[in-house]
């Protein structure tokens, strides 16, 4: 009896990368360039975000980075605690 081997981690990573790349191409064709901060996301998070944006037609803000956003949120939160 032969067993089917489970996909290796590198195969799964390659498939995830292909999915992200395909969704990025679709996003750019439909909504415009992907923001620079998108590279800060992990591949799984990027896949979910791009897929959701494509489903609802949401264009991501191109200028803002995640670090800037997190700083602004932290500053706003500190201001509301006072």
Alpha-carbon span 51 to 30, nearest angstrom: 12
Return the structure tokens found at 12: 């799964």
Tell me what pLDDT residue 55 has.
94
Sign of CA dihedral 50, 56, 61, 67: negative
Q: Where are the domains of the chain?
A: 9-81
Give the pLDDT means over successive 10-residue stretches in the chain (82 positions).
Answer: 63 86 92 86 87 92 70 80 54
With a CB cutoff of 8 Å and minimum separation 6, the contacts of 10 are none
Tell me what pLDDT residue 30 has.
92
Q: Tell me, yes or no, if the pTM score tops 0.75.
A: no
Alpha-carbon span 8 to 54, nearest angstrom: 29
């Amino acid at each position: 009896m032969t067993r089917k081997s489970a996909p290796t981690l590198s195969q799964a990573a390659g498939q995830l990368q292909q999915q992200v790349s395909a969704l990025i191409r679709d996003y750019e064709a439909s909504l415009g360039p992907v923001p620079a901060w998108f590279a800060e996301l992990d591949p799984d998070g990027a896949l979910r975000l791009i897929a959701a944006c494509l489903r609802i037609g949401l264009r991501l803000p191109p200028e803002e980075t995640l670090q800037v956003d997190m700083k602004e949120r932290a500053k706003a939160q500190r201001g509301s605690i006072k």
